[in-house]
């Protein structure tokens, strides 16, 4: 078994998931961490048994005793912090979104291709068994040519404190402020639902129309240093390359839904319904003779490997590097076009 020495870049909330996910894989050693905040870095090292810590990328590269990097920095830092590691020939897993604009994302994808390293973006819902099973069924022709789809990402953290108090905790407030690097719900979870829908469909989008809405959430539209101007809800219409039409929605005001995804996909010979609710996924299908009576049945979905397992497997040449930076860049182009459409009142734009 090929050993893999891993460096964790950034020690915020998601870094804990990365550390625990990679530690559970045989042959993976967490050898170092990077953070510009020395005290938080030291605490993270102690919590996860990481021997070395650096406060800059240059220091880590000068040391060089690692094979791969998992980038868990804030969204706006992904481009600047990933490029030096690609230039150094290191494998990189980057949190989503790959970047905050298509230009930077495409530059990252091109640099990764030139470097010839494993490059992956953490579209975490690729770990959902029902998603992978549905995608497999579509590829095998189970529902025929796709004609229509409906997708939604539903969160309620602006209407209840199940994850924390959004109006007093920086980990939530920054997501509501463009000055703090947020692209709103469109950039935060829109990327997930767009990948969710188009990955299962297996067809690239050709046109997009989008509307965005930001709601008043505090007097004067700000809380302390945070101007609450990022979008809270997004609705999109997509035309896929084969002409299929679909609607995509994402919101933080879906009262009653902590973090749920849904997709309904209809083909000429059958339909699929994917649900991910309260951390569990389910798949239903209407196929064959059941189409005549509109009868739906549950489909068994085997477990799938995590993004951490897939990243290490790709480094060891034991599996594909999916989703890669090229996919992340394609999704960012779609997000950029959706944002441009919203700026023009929802005008239909070519992707």
| Confidence label for 343 from pLDDT (cuts 50, 70 and 90) | very high
Q: Is the dihedral of CA 79, 81, 86, 90 positive or negative?
A: negative
Whole-number Cα distances in Å, 158 to 154, 210, 211, 255, 257 = 11, 21, 19, 8, 11
Which domains are seen in the chain, by residue range? 4-124 (3.40.50.720), 129-303 (3.30.360.10)
Tell me the backbone φ, ψ of residue 312, rounded to 5 degrees: -65, -40
- Give the per-residue pLDDT at 12: 86
| Confidence label for 241 from pLDDT (cuts 50, 70 and 90) | very high
- Give the per-residue pLDDT at 242: 97
What is the SS3 assignment for 218?
coil
Residue 236 reports pLDDT greater than 90 = yes
30 beta partners? 6
Nearest Cα to 257, choosing from 228, 279, 242?
Answer: 279
Query: What is the arrangement of strands in the sheet containing 28-34, beginning at the earlier edge strand?
Result: 52-54, 28-34, 4-9, 68-71, 91-95, 119-122
Give the number of C-alpha atoms closer than 13 A to the C-alpha of residue 236, restricted to the C-beta side: 33
pTM: 0.93
Distance CA 167, CA 252 (A): 14
Express each pLDDT in 34-54 by its tens digit.
999 999 999 999 999 999 999
Residue 181 reports pLDDT greater than 90 = no
Residue 13 reports pLDDT greater than 90 = no
| Confidence label for 265 from pLDDT (cuts 50, 70 and 90) | very high
What is the SS3 assignment for 25?
coil
Tell me whether the omega of the peptide bond preceding residue 323 falls within 30 degrees of 0, making it cis: yes
Distance CA 165, CA 206 (A): 39
Distance CA 217, CA 18 (A): 32
Angle at 195 between CA 109 and CA 86, to 5 degrees: 20
């Amino acid at each position: 078994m090929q050993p893999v020495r891993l460096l964790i870049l950034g020690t915020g909330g998601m870094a804990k998931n990365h550390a625990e996910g990679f530690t559970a894989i045989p042959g993976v050693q967490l050898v170092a961490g990077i953070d510009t905040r020395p005290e938080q870095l030291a605490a993270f090292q102690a919590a996860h048994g990481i021997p070395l810590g650096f406060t800059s990328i240059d220091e880590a590269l000068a040391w060089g005793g690692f094979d791969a990097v998992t980038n868990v920095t804030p969204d706006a830092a992904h481009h600047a912090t990933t490029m030096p590691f690609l230039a150094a020939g290191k494998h990189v897993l980057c949190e989503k979104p790959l970047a905050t604009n298509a230009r930077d994302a495409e530059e990252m994808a091109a640099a990764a291709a030139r470097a010839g390293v494993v490059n992956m973006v953490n579209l975490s819902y690729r770990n959902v068994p029902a998603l992978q099973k549905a995608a497999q069924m579509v590829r095998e022709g189970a529902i025929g040519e796709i004609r229509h789809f409906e997708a939604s990402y539903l969160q309620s953290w602006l209407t209840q404190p199940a994850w924390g108090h959004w109006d007093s905790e920086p980990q939530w407030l920054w997501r509501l402020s463009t000055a703090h690097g947020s692209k709103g719900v469109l950039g935060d979870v829109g990327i997930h639902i767009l990948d969710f829908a188009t990955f299962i469909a297996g067809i690239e989008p050709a046109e997009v129309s989008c509307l965005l809405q930001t709601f008043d959430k505090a007097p004067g539209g700000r809380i302390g240093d945070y101007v609450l101007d990022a979008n809270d809800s997004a609705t999109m219409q997509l035309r896929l390359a084969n002409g299929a039409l679909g609607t995509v929605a994402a919101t933080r005001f879906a009262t009653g839904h902590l973090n749920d995804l849904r997709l309904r996909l209809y083909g000429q010979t059958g339909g699929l319904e994917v649900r991910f609710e309260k951390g569990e996924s389910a798949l239903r299908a209407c196929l064959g003779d059941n189409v005549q009576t509109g009868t739906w049945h549950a489909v068994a979905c085997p477990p799938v490997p995590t993004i951490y397992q897939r990243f290490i497997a790709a480094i060891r040449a034991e599996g594909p590097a999916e989703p890669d930076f090229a996919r992340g860049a394609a999704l960012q182009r779609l997000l950029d076009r959706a944002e441009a459409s919203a700026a023009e009142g929802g005008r239909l734009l070519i992707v």
